[in-house]
Structure 1
Amino acid sequence: MSRERDRVLAAADVSRETAEKLDLYVAQLTRWQAIKNLVGPSTLAEVWTRHVADALQLLTLMPAARTWLDLGSGAGIPGLILAIAGPPGIRVDLVESNARKCAFLTETARLTGAPVRVHNARIEAVIGDHRGVDVVCARALASLTQLLAWAEPLLKTGTTGLFPKGREVEAELTEAAARWTVGHDLLPSRTESSARIVRVTALAPNRP
């Protein structure tokens, strides 16, 4: 794992201080995994490549973004990792309805000094309070159609969406096109050859 760690951190070109905070995040994730199933158990051994690197690549897609909203944050992937490694002035709001996962997010943010706000709430209850954020993101949460429905108030007013997706991304885009006109580009993932990141730049419901 140390070899994977070094490779990921070198590719991300993070400072020693940020590397130490990411180490602390991974240690916390490993400890809390025994209490609350935060990530797939089989992926924990590959935490640096499967989770940390997967989150860090989003920063390179929106380098000027400073305000982020992470839906269904769970283990803080990508939102908490973005806050730990992001540029000066970054602020990330984490939305998670599970109270025990929120406890993990809150404690790990405290230990790492990550600039986040944790919202123990359902997405529908808080999405309207975040108009004007630069980026809304979500990973391994729901279908693209559902993500667009949740994020519509933001995406139709200038917020960019970043949604990592797996090999079924084309099918998800086709399904979403039945309901939405989606301005987007499809970007390759740096961590999985069959995965893509859907970057949404405009959204409008289709006319009936």
Structure 2
Amino acid sequence: MAKTFEQTAPAFLPADKATALALTPVSRETEQRLDRYVGLLGEWQAKTNLVAPSTLPHLWTRHISDSLQLPALALSARIWVDLGSGGGFPGVVLACALAETPGAVVHLIERNAKKAAFLREALRVTGAPGIVHLGDIGDIVDRITGPVDCVTARALAPLHQLIGFAEPLMRRGAKALFLKGQDVEAELTEATKYWKIESHLHSSRTGGQGWIVELDQVERRNGAGKAVGTQV
């Protein structure tokens, strides 16, 4: 017997949403956009693995609130590039949060066609300002023209590789904000083998052992190979 959507839909916890919005408050309009996004993600999750199933009950705190921390670290940023957007964290969440900001747009880069299709639909149903680019990060980054204020990524690659992806945009003045986990210190140590960096670490508001790595300038060390920015 086929299962109905109600039987297969993820069990999002209402209390988790309340906790998330207390940590990272948003306007009523942004909340409504995020609700539409979460509803769509629940429908697509049954056929496309967008997030780890074990995190679904705490989707709002684990994924949405985690993503909503970023705009406060780049208050003047209007043009964002999200590397490896996957299920839309932080890219779609950022687009929802910036929808009322004149001139804002989020470029979402994703190499998986099914996930890219989901991202396009998420932007459509939320009315959020974004552009989905299907392809490898290195190829797409080189094609993005015009100013970029901030580049970000979450759960994509080790830090030294992320810097390699972001470096062309940072040379044009973009700030980098990378969401990382408990191994951030080890990743920073590894990154200094390839890059001269000055980083600022921000502890995640959502608890746990999450961090945000803020980088304003990077410089490749002499002898460091181009492989540090290859596609994962």
Shorter-chain TM-score bucket reads over 0.9
In the TM superposition, residue 183 of structure 1 has moved relative to its aligned partner by 2.2
Q: Which residue of 2 aligns with 1:76?
A: 88
Q: What is the match of residue 66 of structure 1?
A: 78
**Percent pairwise identity:** 47
Post-superposition Cα deviations, 1:130-180, rounded to whole Å, max 9, x if no partner, equal 363000000000000111111111123321000011111111111110010
CA offset digits 1:6-65 (Å, max 9, x no partner): 232244332222211111111111111111000001001100000000000011111111
* Residue 175 in structure 1 maps to residue 175 in structure 2: no
Alignment of 1:97 onto 2:111: yes
Q: Which amino acid aligns with 1:35?
A: K
Counterparts of 1:48 and 1:130 in 2: how far apart (Å)? 30
Tell me the residue number matched to 1:196.
211
Structure of larger gyration radius:
2
Match of 1:121 in 2: 135
Runs of at least 5 residues in structure 1 that lack an aligned partner in the other structure: none
Match in the other structure for 2:30 = 18
Distance in 1 separating the partners of 2:114 and 2:58: 23
User: When the two structures are superposed, what TM-score results if normalisation uses the length of structure 2?
Assistant: 0.86
Report if the CA contact (8 A) 2:174-2:216 is conserved.
Answer: yes
User: Are the counterparts in 1 of residues 23 and 206 from structure 2 also a CA contact under 8 Å?
Assistant: no
Say whether residues 1:6 and 2:18 are aligned partners. yes
Match of 1:88 among 91, 95, 101: 101
Contact in 1 for aligned 2:148/2:172 (Cα 8 Å): no
Residue among 111, 133, 146 paired with 2:148:
133
Does 2:122 match 1:108? Answer: yes
Deviations 1:175-198 (A, max 9, x none): 110010012211111113322110
Q: Distance in 2 between matches of 1:25 and 1:192?
A: 23
TM-score by length of 1: 0.96
Distance 1:41 1:84 in 2: 23
- Per-residue CA shift, 1:53-104, capped at 9, x if unaligned? 0000011111111000000000110011000012512210000010100111
Question: RMSD between aligned alpha carbons?
Answer: 1.3
Q: Give structure 2 stretches of 5+ with no counterpart.
A: 1-12, 224-232
Show the counterpart of 2:9: none
Whether 1:49 aligns to 2:61 is: yes
1:156–1:204 Cα contact (<8 Å) kept: no
Task: Figure out how many residues of one structure are paired with residues of the other and give that number.
Answer: 208
